[in-house]
Structure formats: structure tokens, C-alpha cells
Amino acid sequence: MIIGVCLLFFVATALCTILSFEAFELKFNKQYAAYEREKRRQIFAANMAKAEAKNAARKHPHAATFGATHVADLTHDEFRQRYLMPADGHLERVYNDNKAKLADANAKAHKKRAAVPPTWSWATKGAVTAINDQQQCGSCWAWSTIENVESVAILAGKATNTSIDLAPQQLVDCCDLSAGCNGGFPEGGYTCIEWEKGIETAAQYPYTGQTGTCQLTNGVAVAGSLQISGWTWASGLFDEHAMQAALVTSAPLSICVDASDWQTYTGGVFTGDQDPNPLSLDHCVQLVGYNETAPVPYWIVRNSWCAYHSASHSVSLDLTICFCCSGAMGFVRVHTARDVEANVRCGICSKHSHDVKRANCTCQVEKQMIHVALIVLLSSFLPTWSSV
């Protein structure tokens, strides 16, 4: 299966990813006040030194590479504060509160295993909308929710991937089950869409990248807004097989991961020796596919940091590592590790996938990878439709 992680940003060699500060400024159109430039130059130099060390330690030709990205002039603390969410033990709480539901989700998903092909991509099937940029706001949970509702609407025949553009800002401002730009999780987003009687379009409720005052009248979306009837776990905890089956037979999945090491990721697949903590979820994304025929099998994860990257905006996660969102790319590849010992935990699988009664999240593990995945998903989520 898949457990590793690799980002499809631009699969560059280690030599191409390390830039001079002047080249970095030019490539990413950076402009600093005179007093700020030297500070950012020093931070950038320190980050490039770390990236070079990581590149030198790569143990596989397809392993992740690191170098200059649009956030390479930030300290790691600044990166986490601006782009990630606090890792607050949500995974453990969800697991403890939903053991029976998660086990049931896995059992149902396993019954669909026969339908799982060696490769899959909802993006090539027209079920994935355009990549967006969450900006310096920890709203990835809202984007993961909205992206999956859009995909499920497309698959239900209610829209096309170019005609639907829903409003994550509505969730950022109005969802009391999350903390706006300070983080949240898809299950809260789906529930709020139910409570708010639908989700407005981005034109009706534009994205600002800041937590603002809720603009809904009496807390209800305008008449005619797209509605869902609920959501469900698409797969349970730590089960890549179930997640894969749910992905293929249902729809793209909402998942959450540990993206703490994505700041300087430039390509390749995250492998076991490059993995962060799978029990520390700080970023939510959309799982859209996988490839088990590649030299390093991987999951394909859609990210929401695309504005500053010139490549495909996708990340590759080694199926053995189960990674979900990659820093600054639209899609992420995660290495699979389906046949690894039971103690292997991939971030993708550790967080439940959500099915927006069809919104989801999933994970998988593969032989080649080793310990913990960078992404942690308790399960996958899917939204459920109601009549609109």
C-alpha cells in the first residue's frame, strides 16, 4: 500500500533546490524593509543549511528533497504559527470517543476491497476543483471541508469542477466548533454546514485569510445554498486498506496530517526515516488518489498553499509514511506501507477519514517504508447530501 510522502511541487534535484538569498528574493518576489532584510537572510541561510543536511541524509533516490520555498525565510516557529494549527491531542480524543464508529467504518470499507485498482486519481476524473491558497491563516481545516463538499457535489451531478466554488471563509467566521485561523478539524466544518443550512459560494462570502465577524443572517446561509445532510467516517484508525477502499468507492477524502516538516519540502516522497510525529496533527488536506505501481508507492494529497509555487501544487507521500499535506503544494504524494507490522502508524491513517456523507480521510501503509508517517489521520470523512 502507500505510506510515504512525496510532494509534486517540482521534483528537483538537491542541487537545484538550494538557492542563494538573492535568487530566492527574485524567484518569490520578496521585498523587505531595510532593517528586516538581514534578519531574513540569516534565517534563510540557516534553513538552507538544514535543507542541505536533509538532502545529504536521503537514503533513497525517490526520497523527499528540501530547499528554497516561499516560506524559507521564516523561522520554524513562525512557519507553524502562520500556516499550521496547534497540535492539541485531537487525534487521541477522537479515537477514545469514537472507537465503535471507527471500527465499523473500517469493517464496511474492507468489504469494498475487491474494487481497488493499483492506481487512482480523482483529479484526473474531474472531481477535484482548482487549488487555492489559505494564506497566512490556519484555515486548512475549512479548506479540507469545502474541497471535499465540492468534490462530492461534482460526483453527485450537482456541479462541475469549474462551476463550483464554495466559501471556506463562512466556516472561518461562523463555525463555533473551530477556531477560525487558529485551527479546527473537518468534522466540525461539516457539522457547521448542517447547522448553517448550507454553504454559500466564494462570490457571496469572499475569502479574506483572517478570522472575522460572521456575516450570515441569523447564522443561516442564503436560500439556495448547497446543503449536506451530515457526514460519516469513511475509514477508521490506522487502516490504510480501509482508507484506500473508501477513497476509490466513495469520493476524495478529508484528512489531517503532521506537516511540521513541510516548510522546505521541494519534491520527492517522504519516507520513514524522514517522518515527523504521526500523533501530532497540525494540517488538514484532501486525499485524492494513490499510485502503487511507482518505484515508491504513494498517496496523492491536495494541499492549500499554492499561490507561491510554480509547479503542480501536489505532494507525494510515501505509502509507507502516510503523509497528507505538503508545505506549499497543491497535491502531495505520500508513500504507502500497507503490509507493514501492526505497530506502524502513518499519519494519513491515524486520523479518521471523513465521508461527507461523502467527505473523507484515509491512509495506507506499504512494505518499503518503516515507522511513523508524517501525516496523522484518525480517519477519513465524507459529507452526506440532503435535497437542496
Residues tagged active-site: 140, 283, 303
Alpha carbon 376 to its chain centroid, in Å, reads 10
Q: How far apart are CA 234 and CA 170, in angstroms?
A: 25
CA angle 28, 285, 203 (to 5 degrees): 75
Task: Encode burial over 275-308: b for 16+ CB neighbours within 10 A, e otherwise.
Answer: bbbbbbbbbbbbbbbbbbebebbbbbbbbbbbee
Q: In whole angstroms, how far apart are CA 302 and each of 72, 85, 218, 308, 356?
A: 21, 17, 33, 15, 17
Which triple of cell numbers denotes residue 157? 451531478
Answer left, alpha or beta for residue 295, where phi above 0 means left and psi between -120 and 50 means alpha: alpha
Residues 52, 13 contacting (CB under 8 angstroms):
no
Which triple of cell numbers denotes residue 230? 451530515
Which burial class, exposed, middle or buried, applies to 52 when counting CB atoms under 10 A from its CB (0-12, 13-18, 19+)?
A: middle
The secondary structure of the chain in percent helix, strand, coil, rounded to multiples of 5, reads 30, 20, 50
